[in-house]
Structure 1
């Protein structure tokens, strides 16, 4: 494969070398690419640059022309890294015969005069002095143990003081001492450089020695190009390449292949790639002493990838950064050493935090994408780094709507019931979808949030854990993010936004949630009583019951009262107004009741104190006007349900519209719940005639009473009510035209 020549400013011609074998995933291939680049800069070209294109690494270098030359020069001049772990019993330094291969490898290095092993030889000799001095000080363990576990911090400190500077990168990458003095391990390198019983330093030195003594250009060429025509060794590959890890059911030749398959060159370069994260551990440890603070390494959120499972043992996640602009190694070392993923002013701590940080552009400039790797126990083995998706860095403003959820949901994590944890996982999954820009994710978040809140409301322990019911700011922004293309969402928004000037206890929120607003409290508080109206029987029944509870007698003035005015007030004074076609759909059974209920559970949690200017678009329609399409009974009954009188001209000789107050009868809602729709419509016509409105005859529609009672609670704009009256009565037009749909009062 020939390298493509390009012109580097001020430096003559350089070559772009694509490396299909160094892919962005699995994690081992990604680290192999970083390790190759690091190896190239330390042995051949210190000015080599690299970036990720089309899923693989592309080098920019003036020192080699193509992959063949790169492989040839690395095989001839490779110098292994001084990677030793005298703090581990399996490293070969114990000398007790339990790690025979590691001990033989160390002895071969001590006896070797190969110049390319000089750095490794010096590190081995220094590690020997660490072991000897530690034992003299009485830090040795019992029986065959190399060290007393209680003295491990002392051993690590001694190793830092005695090992050559070149060997400290491995120490820093594998283990550091936290603020309390205890060892803190990087998930990237297992437990201090151990994957189960595999000591990584011993494996590295064994394979490096073999590569130096018996050069294999075909292995390196395969690692760089991705060719699969070279036989690999049957040996442990570690957590970095799940596809070659072996184990139960991994191959038809299960017993033969239980160790896995490994390309020694890939392994060496992968381990070298991990060293780029070493300084990051040291620099960032002060930020969180509970774990090694490698940038882009976070606690796991077991959502957002197809193979996730609630009961899966997940150890953490690594989000591997990608960049497409050729960068210098020093730039990437700084990125990894000081890089960050910021969510709401703090470093991301979980996978969910991380994906939201990406959407909020809380990551370093220059990063174009991240590949997520999840460390899980599978195949009955030590953890594997499983690729879990690639996320492009792109601003998604709607992600910031999730920030107010964190404090409330954090109180539910941990010791909660299975039902709460299931609902919380559903919410996390939806938030992850929103963070990655999946379509229709915002409505999914709302539905999951409503279900979670309902689950919490049913549990005394969960209510106590959260402290208060959730009040979520940003109703306007949530509607924008969710979109208003569904009638169920528009109806839920209109209903949830409804409120009164003097009756805060009769909003749908107050009726559906077991809460109360106590004196000296600005936020609602949980109460142990059941909710006044349950959504358990379905949204239609709940809305009809809520409508009945809201109905109250209108105070009468002195003297006789016009029968058209005497009645009840049950609708909201302030609300986002719904399109008439949606109300018609609700009354005639053409909405998804389950979806409407889910949206209601969520939207009543929003703060609707400011609805000025919010408009709900009417669905597109052709043909008849919405008022004409509405059923006859709805045209007659719906105009009565408002806190404000209609403004109408009843006669041609009336110059201006005058108030025409209409009130529903006190027994209308119970009658509708009993199925007497025609009786209510007949009373409505009678009241209209008394008010001076002569109704035209029309055919009955045979509507379901509960649906009509629910639909009549939905706030309508004054102009919409007027259009309904005009659809059943012959009235002179008003002198002005008002928009019919989407008004807010």
Structure 2
């Protein structure tokens, strides 16, 4: 085995160079040669013992591929003065008697015939256009008809001739070779011919050919390179010594052998043009090439155009060239049961093993315009293929709604929020874990809010998003932050009876905080034609307090114990505002919220996202929020009010000699929630003490001094809590007699 240190997985030109070198070895020197990738380098399994033997054999027996692109003006087949270098290179090939150029001469002569025939048919363009745009596909088809068979692979690698909806010729270009073999103003076929002449024919440069070949294969870059256009495949060498922010030096540092092998490697993708719905167009898909997605790479710039993405596969076991040709030609990358269409689809498919087996990693390359209008393939990360989905599978539930959002003519905030979500989803797919999932839920909430606040977006996005599998999301988020736990407790609350099926018609905070409403009997949500019932611009805690006050209006929430006539059950009548269903908040989190120790903005970020989850089908009894190892100190104002804000009665032993607990129904007064917001809430606490006395509960305090923010306490009182925590709060302001000790059998009474 020979490790080719000069053939690396990045940049993409080096990756293709490795594939092309291997292909050249197989077609010219060793048909049984195998290859694989190890530590970012190509490893060649061949009968050659050393790299020096291989280099010597390649230098002596290399024959260039038959490559020609007469459909491009820069290829030099029409001597219109636009590219004298290209024209001169073709003339040198025509006049050369070098045997190794025989196949190249044959395709150049065929291209000459195509050019003459096309001009004779009147397909010429006007002005600077070589061909009439409507006739350019015809020129390409004529090339397929006239070129030698061994030259068709180049055409298939550069362009796929399909048909549009009306049956007219419609070429599709693989971004691997630019637009039909053009990298901006650089014609690939002309550069290829010039590189062939430089290493095989020209006496001035052929002397350096061996050094260039060694540099390409083993990475010994001590030789001087040619000053020439590099193209999109090797962005690190683009822009020469004269480049500056104000002026671009078009010439980089080019190794002719590296370019020859890179183009031969790209030709391996010729058979990758398959007809199936997927990437680049709806008619023709190129596996491992997809539409560009913003974000997900370190050099990403806001607003930077991403033309396409190419994901280059790595495999760790030696494979034959035929196996890799099949992989590149038929490799399938699927997400959500369909071929991956975008970079985001691709990274999620990679994370869930939605690719052909045998691949260990993919390196992502972004084709974007830099150095003016020159397209460059920029490396954007290496991603391992994993055999488990993890949290990535949850992201598929967002796709249909996000497709509607992407279809909107976006600008401003919706565009920005969509970009942030894409970046977050990339991080999850790359193994980001709970922290990355929390970023996703925040970004999703912000995007949904931006859509909800845009009337134009709501017209295109048919309905609000409802995300299934709340239990799965909750597990993936990792509830280790108080703001996250509190947001989940608020978001999951509803007025549904636990014994009945839950519907969206059961009141939730989402219907108060967002412009949405139940539709079709409460089975789903729709956009409301009115703004949110509660303004959220004043802060999250203030909005939650306002929502609680709306629920605290008499009659807003039905009370299952309003007509209770059970004997021996004290019922302290008042207003019910608590939720009947939802996650329980821990006492420490409730105290932190009431005391103003919670990040208001972060709480809001989590709440925006978590209200989008469908909590109605979640097994809430099994979705626990971490409890307190030790109960915290409860401020007296909060401790006094907490027992009143629950749906079910509290089991309280009113007298020591009572044989059993008494189910006491405690309800707050109708003016409490507005009173807490006043400058003097003392009346609320006085009424609470009076109501405890009316229920037969012995109080230990006669006066409570206020020291908490009214909105913070009001928001905290809306949370569902374990019954034991409410009893603990009650014990701090009242006497609850302990149960008499159990009598041992046979002990005197």
**Does 2:624 correspond to 1:616?**
yes
Residue in 2 that maps onto 1:74: 58
**Does 2:358 correspond to 1:366?**
yes
Residue in 2 that maps onto 1:83: 67
**Does 2:641 correspond to 1:657?**
no
Which deviates more, 500-509 or 685-694? 500-509
Q: TM-score, normalised by structure 1?
A: 0.91
Cα contact 1:563–1:687 (8 A) shared by 2: no
SS of the residue corresponding to residue 661 of structure 1 reads: strand
* Cα displacement string for residues 505-560 of structure 1 (whole angstroms, at most 9, x for unaligned residues): 64201111112224557322212211111221111111111111112355456899
C-alpha distance in 2, partners of 1:154/1:559?
Answer: 90
How many residues are treated as equivalent by the alignment?
716
* Cα displacement string for residues 42-97 of structure 1 (whole angstroms, at most 9, x for unaligned residues): 11111111111111211111x21122111111111111111112222322222445
SS of the residue corresponding to residue 383 of structure 2 reads: strand
**Does 2:719 correspond to 1:714?**
yes
* Cα displacement string for residues 100-155 of structure 1 (whole angstroms, at most 9, x for unaligned residues): 33233223323333221222122222222322333343334457754333222222
The alpha carbon displacement at 1:307 in A equals 2.1
Cα contact 2:495–2:581 (8 A) shared by 1: yes
Residue in 2 that maps onto 1:743: none
C-alpha distance in 1, partners of 2:355/2:712?
Answer: 50
* Cα displacement string for residues 296-333 of structure 1 (whole angstroms, at most 9, x for unaligned residues): 11111111112222321221111111122222111111
**Does 2:199 correspond to 1:211?**
yes
Structure 1 counterpart of 2:185, from 197, 214, 220: 197
**Does 2:160 correspond to 1:176?**
yes
SS of the residue corresponding to residue 663 of structure 2 reads: strand
Residue in 2 that maps onto 1:34: 19
The alpha carbon displacement at 1:278 in A equals 0.6
Structure 1 counterpart of 2:707, from 702, 705, 710: 702
Structure 2 counterpart of 1:668, from 662, 665, 672: 672
SS of the residue corresponding to residue 321 of structure 1 reads: strand
Structure 1 residues 291-690: aligned runs within 5 Å:
293-394=285-386, 395-413=388-406, 414-439=408-433, 440-501=435-496, 504=505, 506-519=507-520, 522-551=523-552, 552=554, 554=559, 555-556=562-563, 565-612=572-619, 613-618=621-626, 621=629, 625-626=630-631, 629-690=633-694
Cα contact 2:33–2:44 (8 A) shared by 1: yes
Residue in 1 that maps onto 2:226: 233
RMSD (Å), alpha carbons: 2.7
SS of the residue corresponding to residue 207 of structure 1 reads: helix
Unpaired segments of 5 or more residues in structure 2?
498-503, 743-749
Unpaired segments of 5 or more residues in structure 1?
1-15, 738-745
The alpha carbon displacement at 1:268 in A equals 0.6
Q: 1:361 to 1:687 in 2, by over 3 A?
A: same
Cα contact 1:195–1:239 (8 A) shared by 2: yes
C-alpha distance in 2, partners of 1:493/1:286?
Answer: 38
Q: 1:246 to 1:643 in 2, by over 3 A?
A: same
Residue in 1 that maps onto 2:747: none
Structure 1 residues 55-70: aligned runs within 5 Å:
55-61=40-46, 63-70=47-54
SS of the residue corresponding to residue 123 of structure 2 reads: coil
Residue in 1 that maps onto 2:745: none
Q: 1:145 to 1:604 in 2, by over 3 A?
A: closer
Cα contact 2:587–2:627 (8 A) shared by 1: no
Cα contact 1:235–1:262 (8 A) shared by 2: yes
